Amino acid sequence: MTNRSDDALVELRGIRKSYDGDVLVVKDLNLDIRRGEFLTLLGPSGSGKTTILMMLAGFETPTYGDIRIDGHPMSGLPPHKRNIGVVFQSYALFPHMTVAENLAFPLEVRKTPRDAIRDKVKRALAMVRLDTLGNRHPSQLSGGQQQRVALARALVFEPKLVLMDEPLGALDKQLREQMQLEIKHIHESLGVTVVYVTHDQSEALTMSDRVAVMDAGIIQQIDAPDQVYEAPTNSFVAHFIGENNRLPGKVVATENGTCVVEMAGGWTVRALAVRVGGVGSTTTVSLRPEKVRLADDADGCFNRFTARVREVIYMGDHTRLRLELLGIDDFIAKVPHNRGQPMALEGDEILTGFTVEDCRALDAI
């Protein structure tokens, strides 16, 4: 997949990577990363996202292809000469150095004048709200504070590009969500280009300008977060991002960008024909649980069916219903509590509907 930009800081052309000379973990990657953007590489383990990051950093060499940063070829250039900030999940702080000394180290390596080092370290500590902790050692800090130090160290020498490899993976849920917003705000204030690797969908959707969803060494879709979630272009993206009801069937008619899909039990659903073959081809209809409408809300939907409620689970901000519908006994609907609908009970029959626009017929990859 090629995604070219007139203002690309990073250009990857024809990138392939194999560790054993046989299996490609990255396949024919063509990608431009825009100057100042926050791009997240999102995918399961083994999808190739970390390998791409390591090739950008210079820790791995492409088997084929070219990488350019700010117009300069990276072939043969070692990591320490690429002027890239890197943040790892393990923090990688020097335990024998204070926080301030950890931040000063990349500046000293670059032979920055002493007065400038002091000023830059002070600004970097203020940026991550650790102004008073410069004299502490990493062992005296919490996990969240250590991650802030690692972030500040990656930014202190003002690189044009910062790479982050699952940097929040070791933090608990509440702290991880807090750090997501902090990193997002720092990026917005500095305008630095960030390439971020994660398998966490909420991180990708919360922080990114664009998300590149990867599987089997290939970018399956690259788009703004809302488009990746609301408008997936294939089955892998639809089912990897968020939760989906999958309705397998056969295309029996197509018309004006929509198609009619027949399920195994004879039921039919009309959906957007996003990625389907002709009449007779198999497909899977993707439908988000929050798009399912119940009771009176279902009246205006083209697709309407009677479902039986198998399970009702209170989730705080919404109720999760497991329904028996269209021959599927784990069809999920999510109902926000502000919708004002009566609570369904297990065993109830309930009118269930969804619009054509909310259903996406997608070929399997």
* Ranges in the chain annotated CATH 2.40.50.100: 243-362
- The domain made up of 8-236 has a fold known as Rossmann fold (3.40.50)
The arithmetic mean of pLDDT across residues 116-137, rounded, is 92
CA atoms in the 13 A half-sphere facing the CB of 272: 14
What is the side-by-side order of every strand in the sheet holding 38-42? 84-88, 161-165, 193-198, 38-42, 210-215, 218-223
- Digit-coded pLDDT (tens) for 236-251: 999 999 899 999 999 9
* Ranges in the chain annotated CATH 3.40.50.300: 8-236
Element (H, E) at 152: helix 143-155
Q: What is the DSSP letter of 343?
A: P
**Contact at 8 Å (CB) between 217 and 48?**
yes
Mean of the per-residue pLDDT values of the chain: 91
Residue 1 predicted with pLDDT over 50: no
- Digit-coded pLDDT (tens) for 167-219: 888 788 888 888 888 899 889 988 999 999 999 998 999 999 999 999 999 99
Element (H, E) at 187: helix 173-190
- 80 vs 57: CA distance, rounded Å: 9
pLDDT for residue 49: 96
**Contact at 8 Å (CB) between 228 and 239?**
no
The torsion defined by the Cα of 257, 357, 352 and 245, in degrees rounded to 10, comes to 90
**CATH no., domain 243-362:** 2.40.50.100
The arithmetic mean of pLDDT across residues 140-159, rounded, is 90
Residue 341 predicted with pLDDT over 80: no
Letter string b/e over residues 242-256, b meaning 16 or more CB atoms within 10 A of that residue's CB: bebbbbebebeebee
pLDDT for residue 170: 76
Which residue type, as a one-letter code, is found at position 233?
T
pLDDT for residue 365: 47
pLDDT for residue 36: 95
**Contact at 8 Å (CB) between 32 and 10?**
yes
Residue 60 predicted with pLDDT over 70: yes
**Contact at 8 Å (CB) between 311 and 305?**
no
Residue 149 predicted with pLDDT over 60: yes
Three-class SS of residue 110? coil
- Asked whether the whole model's pTM tops 0.85, one would answer yes
- Digit-coded pLDDT (tens) for 8-54: 999 999 999 999 989 999 999 999 999 999 999 999 999 999 999 99
pLDDT above 70: percentage of residues in the chain: 96
Residue 59 predicted with pLDDT over 80: yes
- The separation between the first and the last C-alpha atoms of the chain, rounded to the nearest angstrom, is 15
pLDDT for residue 344: 80
